[in-house]
């Protein structure tokens, strides 16, 4: 359907496999339908996704049952959140393939002589549109829901005996990607003399730290460090002690030889417009990019990216251009990446940012928790834009440790972060971390936790990239096209084409063999987009054509 076109196209950019809109008279290995009669469709596997009665239900012997609202499905010990209305289904000749966590069937398989049909009680592309536009509520943040939808479709294709060509969202030889990012809101406590920031620091470093100690949230060692830092504050102000809120040296040491992205404030003392909340005036900062020119060259020499920590760019394209220009001029250029200060955004933000000239945004995440706001670990294109991409943010320090948010101990945070990391390892894509400038120092002292997490990620088979590097990699993957080519012997073949600079690190070209005796096989090849006869031989086979 035309109304689903944007969601369909984006789904197949994320599930990067050969596909085309259905054409009468063609035979397909796999057809995906959300409406209309498919009884005459020529295909070995038909997936019917519909949250209402479908024209073929009676023919298939399927009875439509109860309408559920926002249920949870179950996928191999993982929850699959669903949004909107979902139908329960029944059929005497059908085998359940998907059920809610209450055991109600919402997916059935029917096998005939020449075709396997799966009937699902929801519209796949409505789910995709909802996730990429509205996102997930905090209660469901822990699920990479969109990526699980992709995993399900892939599984059903392979279980039906069809082979599959795919470009998974991982560089060749890697399990996933990691993007280290820092929002720079404060650069030194010396800029804050007798203001709310200084008094807040002293309050949190005394009564707040004592409360956390007595509540078992921090160790005695950390408590003593916090008290000692507070006592040393006069020495910091007179220059006899190093400013413990200077962030750059510490991060460069912890992230040695790894690229990171620093989002810098373009204009100091601007709280911005349309900021809601009791403390909106505190959104203005005591520094801007012109105050740290000596550090920008050091960051760039360490392969770090300089981006915009936007103030009004989220709602005003002209101000977005001004903020981008300020960062570019002060930093000797800009990647065109942005993350909004306080994560402000609305339904027009992506369009406004694209108009302002940004290449990507990395605002989509949670202040209250960690996880997958849009249900994915992949860079995606939001609806309504043609160039801008979104780099989702998954783990934020403040969400983990602030008393008003999750308020976790280090052990609890280890477990929660581990769950997110393992999901990314399962589905591929990029894990984006946000650690703020002052989080390594007092009164927070969340730096040890961050350093351990970075070291643990270093030990895994991952590729570290800055925000723009990760976005450019996904953009290259999006530019790969699949084309039909007539085979001399008759059946259709597939050709991959790519135009652009060689992809670095290379893409993974994966050829899934259909399940045999309950086992799957996959052959991986590395491809940088340049002509390669090995790749041509692989893809010039009879492969799945999904529509």
According to the model, what pLDDT value does residue 540 have? 59
Domain of residue 350: give its range: 182-188+247-273+283-459
Query: Is 503 within the bounds of a domain?
Result: no
Measured between alpha carbons, how far is 228 from 341 in angstroms, rounded to an integer? 31
Q: Are residues 378 and 442 in the same domain?
A: yes
How many angstroms separate the most distant Cα atoms in the chain?
85
Measured between alpha carbons, how far is 381 from 392 in angstroms, rounded to an integer? 11
Q: Which of 399, 428, 459 is the last residue of a domain?
A: 459
State the CATH number of the domain containing residue 73: 3.40.50.880
Q: Are residues 307 and 437 in the same domain?
A: yes
Q: What is the pLDDT of residues 490-514, one digit of tens each?
A: 335 788 999 999 999 999 999 998 8
Query: Is 40 within the bounds of a domain?
Result: yes
Measured between alpha carbons, how far is 142 from 130 in angstroms, rounded to an integer? 17
Query: Is 476 within the bounds of a domain?
Result: no
Q: Are residues 295 and 412 in the same domain?
A: yes
Measured between alpha carbons, how far is 354 from 362 in angstroms, rounded to an integer? 13
Residues 406, 424, 157, CA angle at the centre, nearest 5°?
A: 135
The torsion of the CA quartet 16, 18, 19, 25, rounded to 10 degrees, works out to: -170
State the CATH number of the domain containing residue 320: 3.20.20.370
Nearest Cα to Cα of residue 419 among 369, 360, 463: 369
Nearest Cα to Cα of residue 179 among 454, 423, 405, 442: 454
Helical axes 293-301 vs 317-331, angle rounded to 10°: 80
Q: Are residues 237 and 257 in the same domain?
A: no
**Beta strand segments in 136-256, E:** 164-166, 176-184
Q: What sign for the dihedral angle of Cα 528, 499, 306, 282? A: negative
According to the model, what pLDDT value does residue 544 have? 40
Measured between alpha carbons, how far is 186 from 265 in angstroms, rounded to an integer? 9
Q: What is the pLDDT of residues 378-407, one digit of tens each?
A: 999 999 999 999 999 999 999 999 999 999
Measured between alpha carbons, how far is 542 from 243 in angstroms, rounded to an integer? 64
Measured between alpha carbons, how far is 46 from 32 in angstroms, rounded to an integer? 6
Q: Which of 435, 459, 483 is the last residue of a domain?
A: 459
Starting at the edge strand found earlier in the chain, the sheet holding 507-516 runs 164-166, 507-516, 519-527
0.85 exceeded by pTM:
yes
Q: Are residues 45 and 93 in the same domain?
A: yes
Q: Other C-beta atoms within 10 Å of 25: how many?
A: 5
Nearest Cα to Cα of residue 14 among 350, 544, 474, 500: 474
Q: Are residues 254 and 210 in the same domain?
A: no
Mean pLDDT of residues grouped by 10 in the chain (547 residues)?
Answer: 86 96 90 92 95 93 95 81 97 93 94 91 98 97 97 95 94 98 97 95 96 92 96 97 96 98 97 91 95 92 96 98 95 87 97 98 98 98 97 98 95 98 98 98 96 98 98 98 66 79 97 73 93 72 42
Residues 6+ apart with CB under 8 A from 31: 22, 38, 41, 43, 45, 46, 47, 546, 547
Q: Are residues 306 and 437 in the same domain?
A: yes
State how many domains the chain has.
3
Q: Are residues 446 and 297 in the same domain?
A: yes
Cβ contact 482:488 at 8 Å: no
Q: Which of 410, 434, 459 is the last residue of a domain?
A: 459
Q: Are residues 361 and 420 in the same domain?
A: yes
Query: Is 34 within the bounds of a domain?
Result: yes
Q: Are residues 151 and 225 in the same domain?
A: no
Measured between alpha carbons, how far is 39 from 21 in angstroms, rounded to an integer? 17
Q: Are residues 71 and 51 in the same domain?
A: yes
Nearest Cα to Cα of residue 486 among 540, 545, 450, 440: 540
Query: Is 465 within the bounds of a domain?
Result: no
Query: Is 533 within the bounds of a domain?
Result: no
Query: Is 475 within the bounds of a domain?
Result: no
Query: Is 407 within the bounds of a domain?
Result: yes
Q: Are residues 438 and 296 in the same domain?
A: yes
Cβ contact 475:389 at 8 Å: yes
Measured between alpha carbons, how far is 426 from 518 in angstroms, rounded to an integer? 19
According to the model, what pLDDT value does residue 1 have? 58
């Amino acid at each position: 359907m035309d109304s689903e076109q944007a969601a369909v196209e984006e789904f197949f950019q994320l599930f990067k496999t050969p596909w085309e809109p259905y054409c009468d008279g063609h035979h397909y290995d796999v057809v995906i339908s959300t409406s209309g009669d498919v009884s005459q469709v020529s295909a070995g596997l038909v997936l019917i996704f519909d949250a209402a009665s479908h024209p073929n239900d009676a023919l298939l012997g399927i009875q439509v049952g109860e309408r559920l609202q926002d249920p949870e499905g179950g996928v191999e010990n993982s929850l699959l959140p669903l949004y909107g209305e979902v139908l329960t289904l029944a059929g005497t000749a059908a085998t359940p393939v998907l059920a809610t966590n209450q055991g109600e069937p919402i997916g059935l398989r029917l096998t005939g002589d020449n075709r396997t049909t799966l009937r699902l009680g929801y519209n796949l592309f409505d789910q995709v549109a909802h996730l990429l536009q509205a996102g997930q509520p905090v209660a469901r943040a822990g699920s990479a829901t969109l990526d699980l939808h992709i995993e399900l479709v892939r599984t059903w294709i392979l279980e039906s005996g069809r082979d599959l060509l795919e470009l998974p969202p991982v560089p060749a030889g890697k399990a996933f990607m990691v993007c280290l990012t820092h929002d720079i809101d404060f650069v030194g406590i010396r800029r804050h003399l007798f203001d709310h920031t200084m008094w807040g620091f002293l309050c949190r470093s005394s009564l707040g730290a004592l409360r956390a100690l007595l509540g078992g949230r921090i160790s005695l060692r950390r408590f003593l460090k916090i008290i000692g830092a507070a006592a040393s504050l006069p020495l910091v102000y007179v220059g006899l002690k190093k400013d413990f809120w200077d962030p750059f040296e510490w991060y460069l040491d912890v992230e040695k030889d790894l690229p990171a992205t620093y989002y810098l404030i373009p204009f100091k003392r601007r709280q911005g417009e349309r900021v809601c909340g009791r403390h909106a005036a505190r959104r203005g900062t005591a520094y801007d990019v012109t105050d740290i020119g000596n550090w920008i060259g050091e960051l760039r020499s360490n392969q770090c990216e300089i981006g915009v920590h936007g103030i009004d760019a989220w709602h005003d394209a002209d101000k977005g251009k001004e903020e981008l220009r300020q960062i570019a001029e002060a930093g000797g250029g800009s990647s065109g990446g942005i993350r909004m200060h306080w994560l402000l955004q609305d339904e027009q933000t992506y369009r406004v940012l694209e108009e302002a000239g940004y290449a990507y945004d990395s605002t989509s995440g949670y202040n209250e928790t960690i996880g997958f706001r849009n249900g994915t670990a992949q860079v995606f294109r939001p609806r309504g834009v043609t160039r801008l991409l979104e780099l989702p943010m998954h783990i934020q320090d403040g969400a983990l440790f602030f008393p008003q948010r999750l308020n976790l101990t280090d052990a609890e945070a280890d477990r929660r972060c581990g769950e997110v990391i393992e999901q990314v390892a399962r589905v591929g894509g990029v894990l984006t971390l946000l650690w703020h400038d002052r989080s390594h120092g007092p009164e927070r002292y969340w730096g040890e936790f961050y350093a351990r997490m970075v070291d643990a990620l270093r030990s895994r088979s991952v590729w570290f990239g800055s925000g723009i590097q990760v976005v450019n990699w996904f953009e290259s993957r999006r530019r790969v096209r699949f084309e039909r080519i007539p085979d001399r012997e008759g059946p259709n073949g597939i050709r991959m084409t790519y135009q652009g600079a060689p992809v670095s690190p290379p893409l993974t070209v994966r050829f899934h063999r259909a399940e045999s005796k309950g086992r799957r096989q996959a052959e991986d090849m590395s491809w940088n987009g340049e002509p390669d006869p090995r790749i041509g031989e692989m893809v010039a086979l009879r492969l799945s054509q999904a529509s």
